[in-house]
Structure 1
Amino acid sequence: MSAADILKLAPFDASNARTYDALCHCGAVQYKVTLSPPLEQQKITECNCSICSRNGYLLVYPQREHVRITSGQEALKTYTFGPKRNLHQFCGRCGSAVFFDPQLPKQGQDVDIMGINIRMFKGIQAKDYRTIQVDGWNGWPFIDSDYLK
């Protein structure tokens, strides 16, 4: 499966959607994520690049409008590196890697999706969900995918 296939968004269907509560380890950052389809039907990616591996990311890609921070916006800190295409957001108190905010290459515009770490979802066990392995070590499957071009 190509990176473009992994990252294609299914059309949002409110009749097949579920909202998940999520929070960092210390609870300072809390947010809600609405996924359509629900988590058990999502393409959950596990990338082998250095930052994804170190942060323990297991990512889904909802539309930005379906991610709502309910408290702790001020606790969020940002880390970027290299071409600064992804704004990695983490809790400044406990260090939990909560999500990343991709930026369009060369245009600096916000993309209408976010990479959300399902490990922050309340009441789920990551081992219960199927993940798709992505080889980000040898390229930039997210940024270079046809989805963002």
Structure 2
Amino acid sequence: MADEFFRQLPKFDPADAQTYDATCHCGTVKYSVTLTPPLPKWKVCSCNCSICARNGYLLVYPLREQLKVTSGEDALKSYSFGRKMNQHKFCTNCGSSVFFDPRMKEQGYNLDLLGINVRMFKGVSLDELNLVKFDGWSGWPFVDSDHLK
């Protein structure tokens, strides 16, 4: 299931790219993300797994090098569960879920992507996003979420 999802992601094209400024709620963590194509052309993932649903993630998956943290990196802390592969990064000051690092290289993938929460982007209207639902709740059996039912 994940392999098919990652194969559908757009390829990076600097001629058709846009950089978005983003920040956590309190402004401690500031960063930019360059997406190609620009966000209106992306399929933004709305996953119903336990962590995405609770944190309100709406995700795009750019290459790691497309994320530039400009301040507050030391305020980012990680949370991990299940197989402990994904490192969910949040601001320790305000609790905003900023992005997650699936550490794909460690899982044997050739890609090195991050899951970036577009809810943190400045000036983006969520109503204008092309949301694609992803069934992470029933699709990721390794996640021990029985306590959340």
Whether TM-score is above 0.5 comes out as yes
The residue matched to 1:137 in structure 2 has which SS? Answer: helix
- Residue identity over aligned pairs, in percent, reads 56
User: Relative to total residues, which structure has the larger helix share, 1 or 2?
Assistant: 2
Aligned twin of 2:72:
72
Query: For the Cα contact (< 8 Å) 2:105–2:112, is it kept in 1?
Result: no
What are the superposed Cα offsets for residues 82-131 of structure 1, whole Å, 9 maximum, x if unpaired?
Answer: 10111000000000000000024874889510000000000112121110
TM-score, structure 2 normalization: 0.86
Quick one: distance in 2 between partners of 1:71 and 1:129? 27
The residue matched to 1:138 in structure 2 has which SS? Answer: helix
The residue matched to 2:127 in structure 1 has which SS? Answer: helix
Quick one: distance in 2 between partners of 1:105 and 1:20? 25
Quick one: distance in 1 between partners of 2:76 and 2:51? 17
Gaps of 5+ in 1: 142-149
Aligned twin of 1:129:
129
Aligned twin of 1:146:
none
Query: For the Cα contact (< 8 Å) 1:103–1:110, is it kept in 2?
Result: no
Quick one: distance in 2 between partners of 1:119 and 1:43? 14
Aligned residues: 140
In the TM superposition, 1:47-62 aligns within 5 A as: 47-62=47-62
Quick one: distance in 1 between partners of 2:76 and 2:102? 16
| Offset of residue 7 of structure 1 | 2.6
AA aligned opposite 1:7: F
Query: For the Cα contact (< 8 Å) 2:103–2:112, is it kept in 1?
Result: no
Gaps of 5+ in 2: 142-149
Aligned twin of 1:147:
none
CA RMSD of aligned residues (A): 2.2
